[in-house]
Structure 1
Amino acid sequence: MATLLLLTTAASAPPPTVEVSITGLRSAKGQVLVCLTTNPKAFPDCSKDTASVRMAVKVADAGDFAVHTPAAGTYAIAVVHDENSNNKMDVAIFLPKEGFGFSRNPTITVGPPSFKSASFAVEQDLRQTIKMKYML
């Protein structure tokens, strides 16, 4: 029985990977901050989600990079073009001064999109292309 359990554990597939491509970056400055979460209450700011995947990607690598999910599930991605590399989104009178984007590229009206409009199911490796938006 222990041998069967060991073989089952060893044969299980690794968690899925999301290949991400960012388009529409307005400059080659800074980095892209990436947030991947399954928690609707923590979207789009992953700081309240200890289980989220957060990473910074060099702008030069933002055309194609991998985000490794902890497990299969429903995820949403938020990205920020942190042009001055201060590890946060800068704002001016409540408007973002830096670019941002979301998985599934939902329409942006007032404020960030809902988790539901940006979320997607991950059961196997897949790709998301995110178009950056700039308000200023």
Structure 2
Amino acid sequence: MPPTPAPTVEVSVTGLRSAKGQILVCLTPNRKAFPDCSKDADSVRMAVKAADAGNFTVHAPAIGTYAIAVVHDENSNNKMDTAIFLPKEGFGFSRNPTITVGPPSFKSASFAVAGDMRQSIKMKYML
């Protein structure tokens, strides 16, 4: 029997203020690694040209519960730039949870992946 193909998540990012730079994408099943993925070896990290952010595909490693965080890295330095603790670049999360202070919880951004699916993420800018 052939192995089951990994499910895909089709992502569309809306509300970009420019087509400059890239979108840094993090898909993780690990609540402790959300939202930056740096401490999660099982996360899926990728960069997509901002001009192509209307629609792109992320391959989930397996069926499970995941959350996505995206950053509009306008100057392409591979990180989110901040000014006095506020992000200078845009960001967004799966399920578009309300943002108050700090990033949302994994629970508020997580969704079940049982097969191919879609997530629409709206970018937010603080500055």
Range of TM-score over shorter length: over 0.9
- Secondary structure of 1:48's counterpart equals coil
**What amino acid maps onto 2:72 in structure 1?**
H
Q: Does 1:65 align with 2:56?
A: yes
Partner residue of 1:41? 32
Give the counterpart of 1:124 among 112, 115, 118.
115
User: How far, CA to CA, are the matches of 1:13 and 1:70 in structure 2?
Assistant: 11
User: How far, CA to CA, are the matches of 2:34 and 2:86 in structure 1?
Assistant: 18
Partner residue of 1:4? none
User: How far, CA to CA, are the matches of 2:60 and 2:103 in structure 1?
Assistant: 23
**What amino acid maps onto 1:35 in structure 2?**
C
CA displacement 1:9-57 (0-9 Å, x = unmatched): x1x4201000000000000100000000000000001000011000000
User: How far, CA to CA, are the matches of 1:29 and 1:70 in structure 2?
Assistant: 29
User: How far, CA to CA, are the matches of 1:83 and 1:60 in structure 2?
Assistant: 11
Larger radius of gyration between Structure 1 and Structure 2 = 1
**What amino acid maps onto 1:111 in structure 2?**
G
Aligned residues: 127
TM-score (norm 2): 0.99
- Secondary structure of 2:107's counterpart equals helix
User: How far, CA to CA, are the matches of 1:19 and 1:45 in structure 2?
Assistant: 20
Give the counterpart of 1:107 among 89, 98, 107.
98
**Identical amino acids, percent of aligned pairs:** 83
User: How far, CA to CA, are the matches of 1:122 and 1:81 in structure 2?
Assistant: 24
**What amino acid maps onto 1:113 in structure 2?**
P
Q: Which runs of 5+ in 2 are unaligned?
A: none
Instruction: Give the structure with the larger helix fraction.
Output: 1
Partner residue of 2:14? 23
TM-score (norm 1): 0.92
- Give the drift of 1:132: 0.1
Moved over 3 A (4+): none
**What amino acid maps onto 1:100 in structure 2?**
F
CA displacement 1:89-112 (0-9 Å, x = unmatched): 000000000000000000000000
The alignment's C-alpha RMSD in Å is: 0.5
Partner residue of 1:81? 72
